[in-house]
């Protein structure tokens, strides 16, 4: 069974536990490695996100930033503390980030410049927002149904299509080692009316062509009773020989390694022979 996770969060972003507590638990589970991938979400209009106030109220949260230049020293300071802390634990600890990839004018250039100056070991991509091409709208997918007062200017179908298209762009940028929760948007109840199978299969095709890995996330089991991605996409990923990795997307110590036995079973049933591993 896979005995590591590269998709985990601490209280640096929206996790409940400290880095120390997460590493302690990883050691207790007998893991020899772990990757910590706190959120890296930088968007010029992030203050408009419905979750913004809640997130910035957390004492340790570096969840949301609107300015790359202001964020850089905070992330590098964090890296310094991270690497010192990691040395105290008997396992290999990778410093990663889960990046929301945006496509409005100028974002990609700023992001590339930012990571050129950032201390990190790996990046994964996971998109959590609906946006418009100009980046003037930023809508939390997780809050989409709960908050009807969150005004939207476009149809769900258009938001979903753009969402899947930006995920494909993120994959094609070649900046990320694997894609997180490919069809996280399935948590929206109306998703079934707009399954966007063609757009999701295009993402699989991008992963295949760019030789980028994909996760099977047990967070889906906790949130919607099914893995991200769903089984038909998983089968397509296997068919296209996309390397796969199991993730727990742990936001607290008790979620580390969550239902990895079930994920192993699903991978076996899908005939997965190529697994992803950080070098």
Interface residues toward Zn ion, by CB under 5 A: 98, 126, 249
Quick one: CA torsion of 53, 56, 62, 63, rounded to 10 degrees? -20
Question: Which has the closest alpha carbon to 3: 257, 269, 276?
Answer: 257
Of the pair 35, 126, the CB lying nearest Zn ion is at: 126
What is the DSSP code string of 134-194?
TS--EEEGGGTTT-TTS--SS-HHHHHHHHHHHHHHHHHHT--SEE--TTGGGGSGGGGGS
* Least gap, CB of 273 to Zn ion (angstroms): 26
Quick one: CA torsion of 49, 123, 181, 135, rounded to 10 degrees? 30
* Least gap, CB of 9 to Zn ion (angstroms): 6
CA distance 220 to 197: 18
Of the pair 7, 44, the CB lying nearest Zn ion is at: 7
Of the pair 98, 255, the CB lying nearest Zn ion is at: 98
* Least gap, CB of 188 to Zn ion (angstroms): 15
Of the pair 113, 251, the CB lying nearest Zn ion is at: 251
Of the pair 35, 90, the CB lying nearest Zn ion is at: 35
Of the pair 96, 243, the CB lying nearest Zn ion is at: 96
* Least gap, CB of 128 to Zn ion (angstroms): 6
Q: For residue 105, count CB atoms less than 10 angstroms from its CB and return exposed for 0-12, middle for 13-18, buried for 19 or more.
A: exposed
Query: Residue with the closest Cβ to Zn ion?
Result: 126
What would the two tokens of residue 31 be? 């893991």
What is the DSSP code string of 35-58?
EEEEEEEE-TTGGGSTTHHHHHTS
* Least gap, CB of 168 to Zn ion (angstroms): 17
Q: For 191, list phi and psi in degrees, rounded to 5.
A: -55, -35
* Least gap, CB of 53 to Zn ion (angstroms): 20
């Amino acid at each position: 069974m896979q005995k590591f996770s590269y998709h985990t969060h601490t209280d640096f972003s929206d996790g409940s536990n400290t880095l120390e507590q997460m590493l302690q638990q990883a050691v207790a589970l007998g893991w020899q490695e772990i990757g910590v991938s706190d959120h890296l979400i930088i968007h010029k209009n992030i203050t408009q996100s419905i979750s913004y106030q809640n997130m910035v109220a957390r004492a340790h949260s570096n969840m949301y930033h609107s300015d790359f230049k202001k964020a850089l020293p905070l992330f590098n300071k964090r890296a310094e503390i991270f690497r010192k802390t990691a040395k105290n634990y008997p396992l290999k600890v990778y410093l990663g980030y889960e990046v929301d990839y945006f496509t409005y004018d100028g974002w990609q250039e700023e992001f590339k410049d930012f990571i050129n100056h950032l201390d990190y070991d790996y990046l994964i991509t996971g998109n959590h927002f609906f946006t418009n091409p100009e980046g003037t709208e930023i809508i939390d997918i997780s809050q989409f149904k709960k908050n009807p007062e969150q005004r939207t200017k476009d149809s769900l179908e258009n938001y979903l299509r753009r969402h899947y298209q930006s995920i494909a762009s993120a994959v094609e940028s070649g900046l990320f080692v694997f894609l997180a929760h490919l069809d996280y948007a399935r948590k929206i109840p109306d998703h079934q009316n707009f399954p966007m199978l063609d757009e999701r299969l295009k993402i699989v095709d991008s992963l295949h062509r760019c030789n980028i890995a994909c996760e099977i996330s047990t967070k889906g089991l906790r949130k919607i009773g099914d893995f991200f991605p769903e089984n038909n996409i998983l089968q397509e990923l296997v068919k296209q020989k996309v390397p796969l990795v199991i993730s727990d997307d742990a936001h607290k110590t008790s979620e580390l390694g969550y239902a990895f036995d079930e994920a192993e079973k699903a991978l076996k049933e899908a005939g997965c022979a190529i697994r992803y591993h950080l070098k």
